[in-house]
Every structure is written in C-alpha cells, then in structure tokens.
Chain A
Amino acid sequence: MSKAIEIEDFSYGYSDGTAALSGITLSVEHGQKLALIGPNGAGKSTLLLAMAGFAKGTGKVLVDGLEMNRKNLKKIRTCLGSCLENPDDQLFMPTLFDDVAFGPLNMGMAPEQVKLRVADALQTVGLAGMADKAPHHLSAGQKRAAAIATILAMRPKIITLDEPDGSLDPRNRNNLIKLLVNLPQTLIIATCNMDFAAALADRAVLLDKGQIIADGDAKKIMSDSKLMTEHGLEVAKKMK
C-alpha cells in the first residue's frame, strides 16, 4: 500500500538564491499525526506547499502514491487538503456556505451532495447553523474552524495545517485540539508551539534552516531540552 507522503531528496530555493529546503527525505504513513516543528523560517510552510504542489523544486514528491506532476495535480489536491496559516486567505467567498461548498463544487459533485457535505463539515467543526454568515463576521476561533471545514468538505485523505493555533486564545486552541485529534485523516501540522504539537502528534519532524534535524517519536523529540533549545524551541510544558 502506498504511503500518504513520500519525499525523496527534495530541495527548493527562492528566486533570490536562498535555499529554503535542501535534501528533504520524508515519508508519512496513512493515519499518522505528524508535527512539523521548527523555528520561524525553518522551511515548514514551504515543505507543506511542496506537498500540495505549490513549491516546485528538485527531487521526488509522491502523495498517496501519485507522483507530483502536472497530470496528477488535480488528483493530488483532491486527496490532500491544505489549510493556510491565515484563515482570511482561506475564506474568500461572501458566505461560509459558499466557501465550504467551493471545493466540493470544483470536484464536480451534484448540488444535493454538496449541500450534505457542507452541512456535515460545518457540524464537525461546531459551526452548524452559521452557513449564511459572512466570513468577516466570524471570530478568530470561528474563522479557524471554518477554514478547516473548507478542507473537511472535500474529505481528503491527508490534511496539512500551517500554524493552525496562531492567534487563538486557550479556549479556542483546546477546541481546535479536540477537533483535530478526532479526525481520522493523516494530519501534518506545521507549528512552533510545542504544547499544541505535543497534544496532537504521535510523530515529530524537527526542521531547521531547510533541513531535517530530527525525525521520530513526538514525545522523545519534544522532551529533549538540549535539542529544542539548540534550534530555538522549548520543551512542551507537560513534558517538563
């Protein structure tokens, strides 16, 4: 059976010559909850973009067994849902309903099926009954949940989330953890919040300066205070 993600010797550089990622080799099993940890500018977001085919570099990227190329791009983006860092970028339609329906409609689903998917996704993230709301009328926590709903409605096998806990208060962060921990999909979460990562992930990949520094059991990596401090991170509170 194919793996959720297989990346082999992947490198990516910005147009000014700065190397964002170099020699990344990574494989993620289906159903795994992986935390991509690392300081700011480590290359976490770029790696997530590479998984969705937005950062084209050298090396090999396979998503659910499909090689990243122009021909497979549509299939890849159907099975891998990307949730961007800023929910305002993710929610671009006039209403929540239209936003959540955007993906399923582009997948060619029938209107009745789309409506069911939207209702189901909003129910899952706790926003049932808010379909007619405009995204700019939502709170920060609701926007984050709505951004996840836009992905859930497409029922992807793999979900990537870029700093999903950013600008959330503790209550909303806990709600988000409860939501994500119960999702059956493969989750790849880029974050520099160790408490958040520790609450969700069973595996951690530490990235710094575009390279993988450590890869293994989340608890083991995130409780290594020397490793964490060396790379500008901290040990999660519950691991101290």
Chain B
Amino acid sequence: MHHAHIDKFAYQDSAIHRLDSRVKAIVVLVFTAVVISLPRTSPSILACYAIGPFAILVWARIPLRFVFKQILLVSPFVLVLALSCPLYDKTPVTLNFGPFHWRSSLGWLRCFVILGKFTVTMLALIGLVSTTRFNHLLAGLQRLRVPRLLVIQLGFLYRYIFVLIDRAHHILRARAGRKLRHLGFRAELRTAASMLGSLFIRSIDTAEHISTAMQARGFDGRWRTLSKLKIRRSDVLFALIAALFMLGLHVFVRPVLP
C-alpha cells in the first residue's frame, strides 16, 4: 500500500539537504526553545520568527502545500488547547497594529500566540524532517548522545508505523466487507475493541519476530550502525547564520506586552 511518508522530500538534493543532521537538529531544537519561551507577544513578532524556517523550506524546494497539510494533520490537539483559552480568560486587552487598534480578551491573544508558536515550530520541525533522511537523523541523534533506547524506538516507530497502518486498513476492510447492517452503538464499540485487541496482539507477535530476527543476526543489546556524518564548512556557516538570525530577532524585535 502507498503511504505519504513524512520524509518523502528528504531524498531530494539541495544545500539544506546536504547539511549534517546534528547541526540541523540542534538548530531546530534551539529555535523551538526560543520560540516557545517568547513571552505573551503580538502574533506579528512570531511572523518574523517564521521567516527562518520558511526560507529553509523554500530553499530546499519543499512544497508549501505539503507543509501546511502536515501542520493541519497534527493541529487538532493544539486547536483544542488554543480554543479553550478564550473561554477561561476574558481580561480585556487592546492590541495595536500601527494605526489600528483591536480590543479583545487575553484569552484570544493566548489562543493566537499558541497557534502562532505551534505553526512556527512545526515549520522548523517539518523543515528538519523533510530535508534529512530519517536514518541520518537517527545517526545524528545517537551521536548527540540522545539515549540509545529512545533512538532505537524512534527507528522502530518509523519502520513499523506504516506496517501497522496497513494492518489497521486490512482489519477495517475485513469489517466493512462483512458488516451488512447497522449494528448499534454497543455492538460497534465491541467490534472496535476486538479490532484494537487483534491489532495489539499482532503487534506483539511482530515485536517477537523482530526480536528473533535481531538475535539471529547477533544482536546482544548494543546498537551498532555505520554513521556517515561529518561536519563541514557549510554546516558551521549554517549554524552561524541561524544563530545570528535568532540573536538578531531577540535584540531588534522586542515584544510589546499588552
């Protein structure tokens, strides 16, 4: 079955794609921390921060349609959080956009800031995943001394999430093929529980088989890979530009607290 893989543009070639995964990962991590730690500010400042990841996505020829589709896919969780803000914080505030003034509540401001921060950090994260092959990212994380177990689990998640999705589709199709009438809520719930149970048991089976395959090839608990990472001049230049960009925004674009 065909899947739209999150890293499907990571196999392209551009200056951004060729950068070392460790440098990209650190830059994205620092950028995310900087954006998240921004105080309650007007959304326009977040737009300035968005310029960085946006430029990288354009330079790496990642279709923006794909990027926004990915953001939309993961947005429901944040949307729930953001949209609940106006409900509990109704303190009036006035927002100034040059000559324009907008009276609103602190809840709405928080809502926009959460959505803004989410979008900007997601742009950076998608920029990282779309320009870095997953195996290079894993090798980078391992070299950055991210706990080995976490790196291994990320690798397995990436490898098997599509197998799991395929299985879920097969189970759903099998159910649709035999479900010839409306079963009622309770029966539907029971069927869904059985389907989830079946998926869970098959996942355990798969895990056991993978463990067998690993042990058969000499796995003794130590994860060994041939890392092909190397820091070059272009990586240092990229890190410098990213640092200057963040520092420049921090110094020159001051948040105006309402």
> What are the residues of chain B within 8 A of A91 when measuring CB–CB?
159
B214 near A92 (CB under 8 angstroms)?
A: yes
> Which of these, B156, B158, B210, B217, contacts A77 with CB under 8 Å?
B217
Alpha-carbon separation in the docked complex, A91 to B159 (Å)? 9
Task: Say yes or no: A106-B212 contact (C-beta < 8 A), given A92-B156, A101-B225.
Answer: no
> Which of these, B3, B162, B210, contacts A89 with CB under 8 Å?
B210
Which of A14-22, A107-115, A197-205 has 4 or more CB atoms under 8 Å from chain B?
A107-115
B224 beta carbon closer than 8 Å to chain A: yes
Alpha-carbon separation in the docked complex, A103 to B156 (Å)? 17
B135 near A98 (CB under 8 angstroms)?
A: yes
A136 near B163 (CB under 8 angstroms)?
A: yes
> Which of these, A97, A102, A136, contacts B159 with CB under 8 Å?
A136
Report the contact-size class of chain A (Cβ under 8 Å from the partner). Answer: 35 or more
> What are the residues of chain B within 8 A of A114 when measuring CB–CB?
226
A49 beta carbon closer than 8 Å to chain B: yes
Residues 56 to 93 of chain A near chain B (Cβ within 8 Å): 74, 77-78, 81-82, 84, 86, 88-93
B135 near A150 (CB under 8 angstroms)?
A: no
Alpha-carbon separation in the docked complex, A114 to B226 (Å)? 9
B220 near A106 (CB under 8 angstroms)?
A: yes
B217 near A103 (CB under 8 angstroms)?
A: yes
Alpha-carbon separation in the docked complex, A215 to B86 (Å)? 78
Task: Say yes or no: A102-B209 contact (C-beta < 8 A), given A94-B135, A94-B155, A115-B226.
Answer: no
> Which of these, B133, B159, B218, contacts A78 with CB under 8 Å?
B218
What is B's interface to A at a CB cutoff of 8 Å?
3, 5, 11, 133-135, 138, 155-156, 158-160, 162-163, 206, 209-210, 212-220, 222, 224-226
User: Given A89-B213, A94-B138, list of 13 further CB < 8 A pairs?
Assistant: A77-B215, A88-B206, A92-B159, A93-B159, A93-B225, A94-B135, A94-B155, A98-B135, A103-B217, A105-B226, A132-B133, A136-B5, A136-B163
What is A's interface to B at a CB cutoff of 8 Å?
49, 52, 54, 74, 77-78, 81-82, 84, 86, 88-95, 97-98, 101-103, 105-107, 111, 114-115, 132, 134-136, 150-151, 154
| Nearest 4 pairs of A and B residues by beta carbon | A106-B218, A89-B209, A103-B217, A94-B135
